[in-house]
Amino acid sequence: MLSVVAKKRLKKAAVVLFLVSGFLGSFYVAGFDAFWQFNYVDPIATTRDKVDRLGDAIALYKRKSGSYPQRLEDLVSSPAGVSQLMVAMPEDAWHNSFRYQYPGLHNKKSYDLSSAGEDEEFGTEDDLSNFGKETRR
């Protein structure tokens, strides 16, 4: 059987343990939330940025050669008369290749450039491209 003094000490220890665990728990949750927000990279914004950068490289290719590349790989392989514009072909945020078509079906006087988006299927609502509507979440 516990003495009265031991019971009081046990109650104080339980209260202190409860307060400390509550404090540490809230600190952990707040810290985890801040960590998640700090490290989160929006895949749609990332892919949109890559479409824009590829578009800049394609425009530079056209300025140097007088025509659009026949395929995206021409930006890396440096065909005759054009210096290499990219070291490697970028992928979208879901690690898939971009689709390039010249002349474009949508941009008839230039090219179409698109990513299949999160569902990894071309021709669906989540595709990101230099033409048409893109879904933003």
pLDDT tens sequence across 10-40: 778 777 777 677 766 665 555 555 555 666 7
Provide Rg for the chain, Cα atoms: 28
- Decide: pTM greater than 0.85: no
Q: How far apart are CA 67 and CA 77, in angstroms?
A: 16
What share of the chain has pLDDT > 90, as a percent?
A: 46
Question: Mean pLDDT across the chain, nearest whole number?
Answer: 82
**φ, ψ for residue 123 (rounded to 5)?**
85, 15
- What are the Cα distances from residue 53, in Å, to 26, 37, 48, 59, 84? 42, 25, 9, 10, 15
Q: Under CATH, which architecture does the 43-129 domain have?
A: 2-Layer Sandwich (3.30)
Q: Greater confidence, 14 or 49?
A: 49
Lowest model confidence (mean pLDDT) among 33-37, 73-77, 112-116: 33-37
Q: How far apart are CA 12 and CA 9, in angstroms?
A: 5
Q: Is 26 left (phi over 0), alpha (psi -120 to 50) or beta?
A: alpha
For residues 66-91, average pLDDT? 84
Helix (H) or strand (E) holding 129: strand 128-129
